[in-house]
Chain A
């Protein structure tokens, strides 16, 4: 199956700092990637759809100025959590469809904000 990677796998930062998470499609090109957040024992919550070469589409209630998304190439999307606070601590997962209906997920990034 298609491979999606994320970096870093975990990050700990101080409150007020910004954190960048990378999502890469390793063996296919993805014009669209998706960013999810998952709290403990809860399902995935779609945050935004990342579109190569254009602005991301954010779900209702997700602050676009706080969660900056850049889809700079057909294999890379980045999510930057700006001025992170403890309530932003979560598991962030990206996914990409290699061309069909299926989505393939990255391994996730655990963000802890102190």
Chain B
């Protein structure tokens, strides 16, 4: 069964304390893996797309990596404004999109 699982569900970090969020996936075939940021009461904001194992992308304090089974979103020296829910989604070769339940990140000043 195709599915996407994110962990942890919630993460509290001190400002400056680096960490990683995990997105594990099982799909019959991967067309792309996406990371989004969602603030309360708003639509998801696109962050990254990864297409193949070994690929990495960076944007400011965020870095996304991809293997054949999972993706990590690394947050380096986070700031309070990085607090949000981070969603992972997978586009399968069957043209289906699967979303994880998200990781709620809180960065404490």
Contact = CB atoms under 8 A, between A and B. Distances in A.
A83 B46 CA distance: 33
Nearest to A94: B43
Interface residues of A, number: 22
Contacts of B41: 91, 108, 110
Q: Mostly helix, strand, loop or mixed at chain B's interface?
A: strand
Contacts of A41: 104
Interface of A: 1, 4, 6, 34, 41-44, 46, 91, 93, 95, 100-108, 110
Contact of A101 (B31, B45, B102): B31
Contacts of A103: 34, 46, 89, 97
A100 B34 CA distance: 12
A6 B41 CA distance: 13
Contacts of B31: 101
Nearest to B98: A46
Q: Classify the interface of chain A: helix, strand, loop or mixed.
A: loop
Given A43-B100, A43-B102, A108 B32 contact: no
Interface residues of B, number: 21
A43 B100 CA distance: 7
Nearest to B45: A105
Interface in B16-75: 31-32, 34, 36, 41-46, 49, 51
B23 to A, nearest CB: 12
Contacts of B87: 43-44
